[in-house]
Structure 1
């Protein structure tokens, strides 16, 4: 007789109480701590620190996080963060490429699975990658754990994707990413 495996969701500090931060909290076991703008990250809470703040708020994240905890930061931001992270001495910072959407605060996230990638594209890298993947999978989302080289490749692909979709979207005022895909997809693909 086999015993069913039980997913263990590691308690985390979640920086940001917006759509993504709230979704990550809802995927937890009830032991997470949400830190909002202007609040300090405590020293006495072990585990990953999931950073769900806007890119332009990252400097404040470093300001309100004790330096001794910087290696526990897990960045959920889009874009190429590595140069900025290296400037802080974080050459191997944990990161997540999130291919899921949260439409409104409190709503469940929608996995970014597609016909081309039915296994999903969300990926995590770093020392907390397995804990992040377990949390996302517990919440019904896909997430794979990648080594640094594979993660960097996928990060560059996402950066190019974002640039292409935003460029086409800017040509059509008011167009969402979904509208670019459905109505202007020929402008994105070769």
Structure 2
């Protein structure tokens, strides 16, 4: 999808699009500028794929190596979430605002603790099956324009790079990005937990054979997230997330990176318990305990 079409897309996807006019204007400028060279942290599947979308001027930095101080451009962080502290330690403080985080999960508490409340983030709805293979865009039958989104000072540069690699990317403001971040968090926490309950079956089998369980958990986590963060989600979330499950049907399921994913929803249970309130996520808590994850 050409990013020039973001305006027409947004009016369909977000009824209150007037709030996103600035993002639409910004996105409309993406098609003519060449890909901005970047430092890429992490030489795994995503890091290598992003490097392949550049023009040969990128600097690939392995985990633990220092980030160049004199390189003008975004720093694309493609490591595991648990490696983020070490990435900051090897990045000059003056470059922290150039870091672009591609990680899944709830990064907000960690970003805020590091003074990066408005840090650059990307919701990567694309898959790289094996090292060196071309990424596959996570377009779905409910969102054929694509779901990948970027936020922050380097969002346009990220969108340009992804477009050069044949992928879609929306440029969003903070409010819209937070909603989509929470929606993806809900997807990964729900589909992985339901799949793990049934032996680690693929995502597509979860959606096809255990859709009722999946949608019940999606609705529960969406309600809890909306209450905790004070956001209002667009309608038909269950259908959107089931559609994405069909698009990545081959993915295996497992509850991973608990601190960054399901752990955030479990913390809502702990907070409610401490305040003498009902668990906002009873199914989620029950199934975590059933699997002896908590």
TM-score w.r.t. length of structure 2? 0.61
Structure 2: distance between partners of 1:179 and 1:45: 45
For the residues of structure 2 that align with 1:164 and 1:126, how far apart are their CA atoms? 27
What SS class does the counterpart of residue 189 from structure 1 fall into?
A: helix
CA shift at 1:49, angstroms? 0.2
Question: How far is the alpha carbon of 1:181 from its aligned partner?
Answer: 3.0
Larger strand share, 1 or 2: 1
Cα root mean square deviation, aligned: 1.2
CA distance in 2, matches of 1:172, 1:140: 35
| 2:67 alignment counterpart | 41
Q: Tell me, in whole angstroms, the C-alpha distance in 2 between the residues paired with 1:115 and 1:24.
A: 25
Unaligned runs of 5+ in 2: 1-30, 217-294
Say yes or no: does 1:180 pair with 2:189.
Answer: no
Q: Which runs of 5+ in 1 are unaligned?
A: none
2:148 to 102, 119, 122: 122
Give the 3-state SS of the residue equivalent to 1:169 in structure 2. Answer: helix
The structure with the greater share of residues assigned to helix is 2
The range that moved more, 168-177 or 115-124, is 168-177
1:16 paired with 2:42, answer yes
Q: Could you say which residue in structure 2 is the equivalent of 1:137?
A: 163
User: What corresponds to 1:160 in structure 2?
Assistant: 186
| Structure (1 or 2) with the larger CA radius of gyration | 2
User: Normalising by the residue count of structure 1, what TM-score does the alignment of the two structures yield?
Assistant: 0.94
